[in-house]
Structure 1
Amino acid sequence: MKIFGFEVSRPPKNEQKASETIAASAGYGDFLGFFGVTSNNLPLVTTDTALTVPAVAAAVAFLSRTMAALPFHAYKNTKEGAQRLTGKVQTIVHDAPNDGQDSFKFRQYFWQQVFTGGRGLAWIERSAQSVEALWPMDPNKTTIKRVGGRLFYDFDGKEYPATDVIDVPFMLRSDGLGHYGPINLASKAIQLALAMNEYGSSFFAGGGVPPLVLEGPLPAGADAMKRAQADIKRSIDAAKGGGEAIFPVPPGYKLNAVGIDPAKSQMLEARRFQVEEIARAYQLPPVFLQDLSRATFNNVEQQDLHLVKHLIGQWAEALEGEMNLKLFGRGATGRYVEHNLDGLLRGDFKTRMEGLARAIQTAQMTPNEARALENRPKHANPDADNLLVQGATVTLGMQVTDGGGNQPPPANYNTNNGDGAQAA
């Protein structure tokens, strides 16, 4: 179809690529030209070029590694509570999804696709008895289609039903087939960051000398003009090459800079703002993109909580829901997979120890369960498998006795005043 006289392609209604080629500036110059605006020559945004922006690379690397590092286990519900599964499913989920990848490498690749192109895909290898493996699918080589209301994925010459494909999109389109990726959504912000990177590189590669204009009585004739330009260029190059701050200009002439220097254009502030824009695209607190310009001890701790509650926890739920449905089916409510978000505290020894101690003292965890979280062997003492609670905690109004029916002395009772006599 045509919009403002320009031909615009539309993807087929029932079929769409799982990962689109991102060309943020394609057709943009022509659209501006229709209104009389010249082309802006902004750089093309693709996944590869976007990753050359440090903020984008930091966001993708941080989120994918964080999601891959979370402890991931399979459980089943029993009368005694949740119990970890053993066997093939636990091996696939926690240890190695397939023969060529461990769990961290598999999940890191999966989440890298989500946070770049916008979709993570993996197909489930099954046998007659159980699930055998999970294999990554390249979203750029996968086509998704709807047939009779059901989704199918064409990959590597084979067709897989949706029941055999783990599919986590960054954001779905209205047709339920296509998707939006974060790089696509933030393409204009990334485009500006790329342009500033290129300008900064060219500016400093030229020794910090901006384009110049020569003012004065210009020589007549094209050849004389070229000789004058060559003389000025040799003077500038000689000054830069010799590290000199001054170079001669012929009498009656004046050199003026063309354009605005980086300081006057607030380039530093603009580059910092682009970090904030890219953080918004990923819903990341800026501190995790190494932007500490507004960080304090207090708000960094709050950003940690924000990260877990409003970002990591949500993506963890997305993968858990997809795997529970595809691995165990709609009716299999007794088995499930789940991330342990406590793994985010692995690097904070003091907080982790205080949390485990409180869980033991309030009968939420046995000592041996706490030791298992730290990969320590069980203690031989039988009490290590019992729930413990502080003895001073009693029901309101209940009197505590010493075991023989006698009430203990009051709290301010001193059994020894220094000379062996008891005194109140």
Structure 2
Amino acid sequence: MGIFGPSRREIESAVQTAVTAALEQRASIEDPKVPISASNIVEFLGLHGISASGKRVTIDNALGVPPVWAAVNFLSGTLAGLPCVLYRKTGKGREKVNGGLAAILHDAVNEETSSFDWRKSFFDAVFTGGRGLTFIERSASRKVSNLWPLDPTKATVKRVDGRKSYEYRDGRRTHVYAASEVIDMAYMLHSDLLRHRSPILTNKEAVGLAMAVTDYGAKFFNNGGVPPFVLTGPFNSPGALARSSTDMEQAVREAAEKRKLALSLPTGHEIKSIGADPEKSQLVELQRFIIEQIARIYSLPPVFLQDLTHGTFSNTEQQDLHLTKHTLTRLAKQFEQELNLKLFGRWNNRQYVELNLDGLLRGDFKSRMEGNARAIQTGQLTPDEAREMENRPATGGAAGELHMQGAMMPIDKLGQLPARGLGDSAGPALDDDQKDDLNG
């Protein structure tokens, strides 16, 4: 209890306790099938997303913070841009599948939505609200015919008789889907493996601070760059006090609009600044710190939020590697395993979906060419396979075979090689058995 009454946290706690008790009784008496929780009511009352800065944090207004907007769009756009390829396992390795489900995943998930748009919106939901959902439509033969995005805010995840199900409210209708019918990816799950955590609402204090700083900067410059001030002087009446306040506010705005450098004050009056100006409150430094905070939330190197304050040529390259190894790889793996489980079932061992991280090199022509050349020279790729990766037609013939530099020899044969460049003194010629050994 504070000096001026109960604090905000005490009020929230009291509201939650009272609402929980009342609604538990109501749910048990009126309709036990209807899930009613205190958290829903608290969120409805506007208390759920209130940060210590006084800002009410929601998904929509959090996206108004530039670092949050940049982080969400960068991660979701990057993951959506990776090639999504369907493979089939064969006795010789794997082969790429074309048509059918492969076309759905690579080109268009339904007649309305392209694969990129589906994945972009899916990952947008994951990085904002914390969860992405998609319904799998199957034909009579149980083949996948369409993928339909679901709004996670309209879905409730339940466990009935030990089985997870999804209750989706679409207008007046309610659909119940089995877990095998829904592609579900959560940023982070609660211990019950049903509820999820939103990266924005879980870190509402950091996001609320960013919103407050953004609003303060906007109000400061909207006021002509003049911090809040007090006008002192010989006011003879409350009316004179009110008029002087209005006149000074108007004078400041006119000076900002007309770019005047001076303000005129009545005789005997004085302006005194109150609060802290941006320089003293380190507004610029605070905005940079906020970028680092948002980057920490998404495990994202700050350089990808356009913050090159501490960037150099070498550490920027290392941050690029960090992004691929420690952020994109785990997110891609989580998405791949969810697709493989829901599209093919638990015991599938024939087909699988994979996001090709090599797609990140699409804009780096030099690295692609050097990598392809090295793979061809070391017998890892045929020239035609490298051409296919560059969307070029195969030429056939020798280009379809593996090649390797002829100077390479088995290490146990190196001591049997004759000396070179000495004419007749180069050493004895190899007999037929030695030649056979060298030729394998």
- TM superposition score normalised by structure 2: 0.83
Change (3 A) 1:231 1:409: closer
Change (3 A) 1:350 1:24: farther
Per-residue CA deviations over 1:364-409 (Å, capped at 9, x if unaligned) read: 11111111110000013x11111111111111141599xxxx9572
| CA distance in 2: counterparts of 1:293 and 1:119, whole angstroms | 32
Residue 220 of structure 2 corresponds to residue 203 of structure 1:
yes
1:193 Cα deviation from its structure 2 partner = 1.0
Residue 371 of structure 2 corresponds to residue 355 of structure 1:
yes
1:40 Cα deviation from its structure 2 partner = 6.7
Give the corresponding residue for 1:215: 232
Give the corresponding residue for 1:71: 83
Contact 2:136/2:183 (CA < 8 Å) preserved in 1? Answer: yes
| CA distance in 1: counterparts of 2:370 and 2:341, whole angstroms | 36
1:224 Cα deviation from its structure 2 partner = 3.5
| CA distance in 1: counterparts of 2:36 and 2:359, whole angstroms | 37
1:4 Cα deviation from its structure 2 partner = 5.3
Q: Which amino acid aligns with 2:407?
A: A
Contact 1:145/1:152 (CA < 8 Å) preserved in 2? Answer: yes
Q: Which amino acid aligns with 1:52?
A: G
Residue 189 of structure 2 corresponds to residue 172 of structure 1:
yes
Note the 1:258-273 alignment, pairs <5 A. Answer: 258-273=274-289
Change (3 A) 1:74 1:4: closer
Q: Per the alignment, in what secondary structure is the counterpart of residue 124 of structure 1? A: strand
| CA distance in 2: counterparts of 1:388 and 1:239, whole angstroms | 76
Contact 1:186/1:278 (CA < 8 Å) preserved in 2? Answer: no
| CA distance in 2: counterparts of 1:47 and 1:397, whole angstroms | 65
Residue 183 of structure 1: which of 183, 191, 200 is its match? 200
Per-residue CA deviations over 1:91-130 (Å, capped at 9, x if unaligned) read: 1222222111121111111111101111011111112321
| CA distance in 2: counterparts of 1:86 and 1:234, whole angstroms | 69
Contact 1:126/1:133 (CA < 8 Å) preserved in 2? Answer: yes
Note the 1:21-100 alignment, pairs <5 A. Answer: 26-27=46-47, 42-100=54-112
| CA distance in 2: counterparts of 1:22 and 1:301, whole angstroms | 46
Residue 314 of structure 1: which of 309, 313, 330 is its match? 330
| CA distance in 2: counterparts of 1:29 and 1:278, whole angstroms | 17
| CA distance in 1: counterparts of 2:188 and 2:422, whole angstroms | 62
| CA distance in 2: counterparts of 1:168 and 1:162, whole angstroms | 12
1:167 Cα deviation from its structure 2 partner = 0.4
Change (3 A) 1:117 1:236: closer
Residue 389 of structure 1: which of 404, 409, 413 is its match? 404
| CA distance in 1: counterparts of 2:422 and 2:207, whole angstroms | 67
Per-residue CA deviations over 1:334-392 (Å, capped at 9, x if unaligned) read: 21111111111111111111111111111111111111110000013x11111111111
Change (3 A) 1:227 1:70: closer
Residue 359 of structure 2: which of 340, 343, 349 is its match? 343
1:135 Cα deviation from its structure 2 partner = 1.1
1:244 Cα deviation from its structure 2 partner = 2.3
Give the corresponding residue for 1:254: 270
Q: Which amino acid aligns with 1:134?
A: L
| CA distance in 1: counterparts of 2:175 and 2:414, whole angstroms | 73
Contact 2:49/2:57 (CA < 8 Å) preserved in 1? Answer: no
Q: Per the alignment, in what secondary structure is the counterpart of residue 379 of structure 1? A: coil
1:44 Cα deviation from its structure 2 partner = 1.5
| Structure 1: 5+ residue stretches without partners | 31-38, 414-424
Q: Which amino acid aligns with 2:145?
A: E
Note the 1:97-112 alignment, pairs <5 A. Answer: 97-112=109-124
Q: Which amino acid aligns with 2:206?
A: A
Note the 1:227-238 alignment, pairs <5 A. Answer: 227-230=243-246, 232-233=248-249, 235-237=251-253
1:154 Cα deviation from its structure 2 partner = 1.6
Residue 394 of structure 2 corresponds to residue 378 of structure 1:
yes
Change (3 A) 1:25 1:49: farther
Residue 161 of structure 2 corresponds to residue 145 of structure 1:
no
Give the corresponding residue for 1:329: 345
Contact 1:23/1:44 (CA < 8 Å) preserved in 2? Answer: no
Give the corresponding residue for 2:8: none
CA RMSD of superposed structures (Å):
3.1
| CA distance in 2: counterparts of 1:372 and 1:91, whole angstroms | 18
| CA distance in 1: counterparts of 2:97 and 2:235, whole angstroms | 88
Per-residue CA deviations over 1:268-327 (Å, capped at 9, x if unaligned) read: 000110011001111100111111111111111111111111111111111111111111
The share of aligned pairs that are identical, in percent, is 46
| CA distance in 2: counterparts of 1:21 and 1:388, whole angstroms | 68
Q: Which amino acid aligns with 2:197?
A: Y
Is the deviation greater in 134-143 or in 90-99? 90-99
Matched residues, number: 398
Q: Per the alignment, in what secondary structure is the counterpart of residue 168 of structure 1? A: strand
Q: Which amino acid aligns with 1:278?
A: I
Q: Which amino acid aligns with 1:76?
A: R
